[in-house]
Each structure stands twice: as C-alpha cells, then as structure tokens.
Amino acid sequence: MSYSAKTVYRDDKLANAYEDHRFRSWSGRLAGDLEKSTMLAGLKHLGAGPNALVLDVPAGTGRLTRSAIAEGYRAIGVDISSAMLRQGFLLHSLDTADPFVGAVAGDVENLPLADGAVDAVMSLRLMGHLPTETKERALREMLRVSRLGIVVMFARRTPLLKFKRAALWRTGLRPRASHWYDETDADIRALIAGIDAEILHHEDILGPFAESRAYTIRAKGRS
C-alpha cells in the first residue's frame, strides 16, 4: 500500500533540510533528544547490553543510529530513501564510526535481513505514517529479524492530543501531513496482541502532552 512518507523523503532537497527543519529550534532539539533517550531506554528493557547489534529502521539521517553507537551499541541502518541515508554520512560521520556496520536502502515491509540477524530493532517516527495493515506487516518484519525484540515509537491519539495536532496544523506551526495514522493506546495494544507479540514496557516522551509513546515489544514465547 502506498502512503506519502514512502516516497517524499527520496527527494534530496527534503532530505538535506530534514534535521534543520525539525531539530534546530530549542523545542525541536529538546523533543529530538528526549525521543532518542526514550528509544535507547527501551533497548535496556529488552536486555540489549553493550555491543549488541541493533537495527535502526527507518534510519533516516542516522541521528538515532549515532546515539545508539554513542551508547556502546553496534548499529545497522535501513531506510527506503538513499537520500536520507546519505545525510548520515554528511551530518553524523557514520562512515568513520567502527561500530557502524552499514546502511542499506530497503523497505520495512520486506527487510533485507535474515531471521534473527540483529539483537534488537528501533523504529522512530514511522508508525504515524503507516496505514494499519502496513503497520502490521512492518511490525512482523521487525520481530522476524530481531532476537530480543523491538522498540517502536507510535503516535498516540487522545482527545487532547487530537485537538493539539489540529491546532498546530491550522496555525502552520507543524507541517500538515497528507497521510497521518495515529491510534489510541487500546488500538496499539490490540495491534500488537494480534501479531502474537507482547508489550514489556511503554514510555511517553512528555507525559500527556506529547503523542509519542515508545513501546518495548517482543514476540510471545521469547524470554
């Protein structure tokens, strides 16, 4: 199924401006830092220790890949946009970091990795772009390639957050996405239970005021 984020980020101009647009202001930098540390905390809940091999998908410009390496992990990046992946070399010098195993263009619905190829998967700022059926396929793929489990940031919907998003879009403070698929916590839990997985932990980046909630998930029956 097609959705806008699958194609728009392939544009070089958009990829070049991605970090500048989102993370240059103090509030953007704060949100970016908070979400990265929340994702890394999720890896600890999975029991992924130092030197574990983690997949960042979508890696985008490599900002989370870089933070994972700084925490002592080895990392691989996958993203459908080579233009975004190239930014990882320009902005974060990933090519000079030994624990960086490599980056490859690929689709989260069909990851170019063998079963259990990595210890854990991190997925930041993707779920809100994916229609429900695509989300389900993407989550199954992440669980297939990971030995321990996955840490996934979802865009949570509550009445307050729905109102806030509409206001930000209306005032132009946040660019309006042509496709946006947020969910209630109950929807997210049903989706995860439906793919035979379980939630070990969840964490919000800013309590009730931010829609981003990271879920630490593993396949049922894995310990």
Ligand X SMILES: C[S@@+](CC[C@H](N)C(=O)[O-])C[C@H]1O[C@@H](n2cnc3c(N)ncnc32)[C@H](O)[C@@H]1O
State the nearest-atom distance from the C-beta of 101 to ligand X, in Å: 17
Beta strands in 89-211 (DSSP E): 100-105, 118-123, 146-155, 197-204
Say how many Å lie between the first and final Cα of the chain, rounded: 33
- The Cα 166–Cα 119 span in angstroms is 38
The residue type found at 89 is F
State the nearest-atom distance from the C-beta of 221 to ligand X, in Å: 27
Per-residue burial over 169-204, b = 16 or more CB atoms within 10 Å of its CB, e = otherwise: eeeeeeeebeeebbbeeeebeebbeeeebeebebbe
Helix (H) or strand (E) holding 138: helix 132-145
Q: Which residue lies nearest ligand X, judged by its C-beta?
A: 60
Structure tokens at 116: 């259990």
- Of 175 and 194, nearer to ligand X (C-beta) is 175
- Of 103 and 161, nearer to ligand X (C-beta) is 103
- Of 36 and 74, nearer to ligand X (C-beta) is 36
- Of 179 and 222, nearer to ligand X (C-beta) is 179
State the nearest-atom distance from the C-beta of 181 to ligand X, in Å: 12
State the nearest-atom distance from the C-beta of 189 to ligand X, in Å: 23
> Are 116 and 145 in contact, with CB atoms under 8 Å apart?
yes
Q: Which residues bind ligand X (CB under 6 A)?
A: 5-6, 9, 58, 60-61, 63-64, 79-81, 84, 107-109, 124-126
State the nearest-atom distance from the C-beta of 196 to ligand X, in Å: 22
- Of 137 and 198, nearer to ligand X (C-beta) is 137
- The Cα 202–Cα 98 span in angstroms is 31
